[in-house]
Amino acid sequence: MTLPSDHPAIAPSKVGVLLINLGTPDAPDAKSVRRYLAEFLSDRRVIEIPPLVWQPILRGVILTTRPKKSAHAYQQVWMDDGSPLAVHTRDTARALQQAMGDGVIVDWAMRYGNPAIADRLAAMKAAGCERILLAPLYPQYSAATTATANDAAFAALRTMRWQPAIRTLPPYHDDPAYIAALCASIDKHVAALDFVPDALLASFHGMPERTLHLGDPYHCQSIKTVRLLRERLSLPVHISFQSRFGRAKWLEPETEATLTKLVREGVRKIAVVTPGFSADCLETLEEIALRAKEVFLTDGGEKFAYLPCLNASSEAITLYRGLVGRELSGWI
């Protein structure tokens, strides 16, 4: 059938994969950080306090005092190309695109900040993606990470007249390929150290304890990841949770307290890995590689090493190619 001359152009049908990570300010300055924090900390999935109570606190003391402090932290880890999280997520998307070939369009977005999920979904649809896999890069599921990323995508879909078909990547905390990728990365980085660690600490992002009681599986999935690591690695593996905020009771044991405890128990050389993060970011590079290191050495530790996230490593791309390929079954 011949289309009329005034028919709008229609791109050939394609399949897309949208990698999603948490988010980052556009620059390491107080203004950019304030804008990012305002979006991030206004998410009802992240802060489950009623807005009438929370927003005056957020708009008052938090957004008045915290941006300057956080901007200083970002300045310590900022890369030439931008925020570490953005750089590593972008590089992962590019490497995965090469691995997947021309049959799939791979793009990336941030839940908070730029590039925005809605913008990238619109661009992918304009490029002809009628089927899109949303791939939040969180191995362990949490409502405050995986769910809110999907929420943002679904909200964007509500504005589209012609929606693409959508699938979502499930958590992969106990997937054999994920554990194998972690172990291979850990072994590689430990072998490159100038010392042999006495132990390995797996530090996960913290969550309020109430999220566990409300049914969030994050804590249980984090523990299972560590159990599987223990079965594969020769080093003793400990678990902890970092990044506490506010006065609520958080998941324990806390990372810095755990490091102090390990020193008292005779651990003098330690390596720290962060299996809940797919890419290095402020929480890994500043909070662990700098601040946690200082705590450990000040308390009597002798050697401290932070082991990088999977980032865009060959281990990561092998993992994601397998996970994505499985979820695209029937589409490609």
The parent domain of residue 279 ranges over 176-306
Inform me whether the pLDDT recorded for 246 exceeds 80.
no
The whole-angstrom distance between residue 5's C-alpha and the CA centroid of its chain comes to: 47
Instruction: Tell me the pLDDT band of 244, cut-offs 50, 70 and 90.
Output: confident
Tell me which residue of 28, 32, 22, 27 sits closest to 63, measured CA to CA. Answer: 32
* pLDDT tens digits, 32-66: 999 999 999 999 999 999 999 999 999 999 999 99
* pLDDT tens digits, 73-112: 999 999 999 999 999 999 999 999 999 999 899 999 999 9
The answer for residues whose C-beta is within 8 angstroms of residue 62's C-beta and 6 or more apart is 37, 41
Q: What's the rounded Cα separation, in Å, for the pair 118 and 41?
A: 19
Clarify whether residues 119 and 150 are in a common domain: yes
Clarify whether residues 166 and 257 are in a common domain: no
Inform me whether the pLDDT recorded for 265 exceeds 90.
yes
271 within domain boundaries: yes
Percent of the chain at pLDDT > 90 equals 94
Inform me whether the pLDDT recorded for 152 exceeds 80.
yes
Clarify whether residues 221 and 283 are in a common domain: yes
For 213-302, where are the E strands, in sequence order? 237-242, 269-273
Clarify whether residues 219 and 192 are in a common domain: yes
* pLDDT tens digits, 187-220: 999 999 999 999 999 999 999 999 999 999 999 9
> Residue 65: which CATH number?
3.40.50.1400
Clarify whether residues 93 and 150 are in a common domain: yes
Inform me whether the pLDDT recorded for 133 exceeds 90.
yes
324 within domain boundaries: no
Instruction: Tell me the pLDDT band of 9, cut-offs 50, 70 and 90.
Output: low
217 within domain boundaries: yes
Give the chain's mean pLDDT: 96
Clarify whether residues 42 and 82 are in a common domain: yes
Clarify whether residues 200 and 244 are in a common domain: yes
Q: What is the pTM of this model?
A: 0.95
269 within domain boundaries: yes
Clarify whether residues 168 and 244 are in a common domain: no
Q: Tokens 């941006």: give the residue.
A: 67
Give the DSSP per-residue string, 167-228.
EEPPP-TT-HHHHHHHHHHHHHHHHTSSS--SEEEEEEE--BHHHHHTT--HHHHHHHHHHH
Give the number of domains in the chain. 2
Clarify whether residues 156 and 134 are in a common domain: yes
